[in-house]
Amino acid sequence: MSSPLRFALLGAGRIAQTYAQMFSGATDLVLAAVVDVNKAAAIELARQAGGSAWPDIDTLLAAERDRLDAAIVCTPPNTHHELTLALVQAGIPVLCEKPFSLDVPTARAMIRAARRARVQLTMASKFRYADDVLAARQLVQSGLLGEVILFENAFTSRVDMSERWNANPAISGGGVLIDNGTHSVDLMRYFLGPLAEVQAVEGKRVQDLRVEDTVHIFARSVSGVLGSIDLSWSINKEQESYLTIHGSLGTLHVGWRESKYRLHNQKDWVVFGRGYDKIQAFRSQVTNFARAIRGEEGLRITTEDALASVQVVRAAYRSLRRSQWIAVAMPLPLPGAKARKRRGSPAGTNGTH
């Protein structure tokens, strides 16, 4: 059996706490170091994991570079570019939390750097790793629902964002659209393939924020399937499911507590999933990343997927400003596709996509 992979966790905030929970139940992964400008937070999280604490990435790399196998970046979005570049240039594979980057040029720069260093780079998008989402995609691909006609997603909940960095555009790059919407866009692409155009409409701002707190997105895939997304920090639609797919032969729901489908010629719903398990999704995500580093499987979320997520979100913001449908730029070929392996397959290798 191979030795456990040693991870550094950059950030000690809310999302880092979930990663720490995931590591506590892992046998082949070790949380070896925690980095955060909040020294006390880094020390406490590192203490829980049995690892070391560091105030910044420079001191981490100076002391631990050769002892680290991978890193997870879960700091605010405006730091993703700088931290990812430093890590991949040091030869360390990176799992970068969503949103991958605030704009397309920096996303491309991150990917180019990973390819030059021949290390793995992927975007964290937890819902793509949820068991029920994977089962739903397999059902859709089997043709069970017939032709897919409409994709519906809703991520809405009442959350006071007034004191959170997510509502500071200089840090976050926007509001609920780039925050929750990155998950939505990635899910839609996972089921429908590339998106051709989007239209985003902002709702009333009720939290007195500098960013949007309620948005509706319409989308059309390259294959012609329509999609709709509801995003809000200010309302809770109280829906049992967060994803619904309507096909010519039936309808499928992916829910928080149960997932099911019903064909038009049948009376009863068929349950195929037990709902959303956050820790399971995080564990599957990091496991896929670790196996890709070891060369055992491909990344479920490739660098092409990460770049596309940024492109769609930026197109949606242009649509908000212009009040019209906006075409999503088709991604240009990424450089270095034939790079040789180092610490796993090169960034962007297609696997279970």
> pLDDT tens for residues 38-73?
999 999 999 998 999 999 999 999 999 999 999 999
Reply yes or no on whether the pLDDT at 1 is more than 80: no
pLDDT band at 108 (very low <50, low <70, confident <90, very high): very high
pLDDT band at 24 (very low <50, low <70, confident <90, very high): confident
- pLDDT value, residue 331: 61
Residue range 141-164: average pLDDT?
97
The structure's pTM equals 0.92
Query: Who wins on pLDDT, 347 or 123?
Result: 123
What is the rounded CA–CA span in Å between residue 309 and residue 181?
A: 9
Residue range 241-251: average pLDDT?
98
CATH superfamily of this structure's domain 131-276:
Dihydrodipicolinate Reductase; domain 2 (3.30.360.10)
Of the listed ranges 35-39, 187-191, 275-279, 338-342, the least confidently predicted one is 338-342
Residue range 266-277: average pLDDT?
97
Residue range 144-165: average pLDDT?
97
Reply yes or no on whether the pLDDT at 353 is more than 70: no
Residues 337/111, Cβ–Cβ less than 8 Å:
no
Task: Indicate where the chain has its CATH 3.30.360.10 domain(s).
Answer: 131-276
Query: Who wins on pLDDT, 3 or 119?
Result: 119
Of the listed ranges 21-25, 214-218, 341-345, the least confidently predicted one is 341-345
Residues 344/93, Cβ–Cβ less than 8 Å:
yes
From 308, 351, 293, select the one nearest 129 (Cα to Cα). Answer: 351
Reply yes or no on whether the pLDDT at 340 is more than 50: no
Residues 120/110, Cβ–Cβ less than 8 Å:
no
Residue range 330-341: average pLDDT?
53
Query: Who wins on pLDDT, 346 or 59?
Result: 59
- pLDDT value, residue 112: 97
Task: Indicate where the chain has its CATH 3.40.50.720 domain(s).
Answer: 5-127
- pLDDT value, residue 25: 79
Pick the CATH number of 5-127 from 3.40.190.10, 3.30.70.20, 3.30.460.20, 3.40.50.720: 3.40.50.720
- pLDDT value, residue 346: 47
Query: Who wins on pLDDT, 27 or 251?
Result: 251
Percent pLDDT > 90 in the chain is: 90
- pLDDT value, residue 27: 86
Reply yes or no on whether the pLDDT at 343 is more than 70: no
- pLDDT value, residue 332: 58
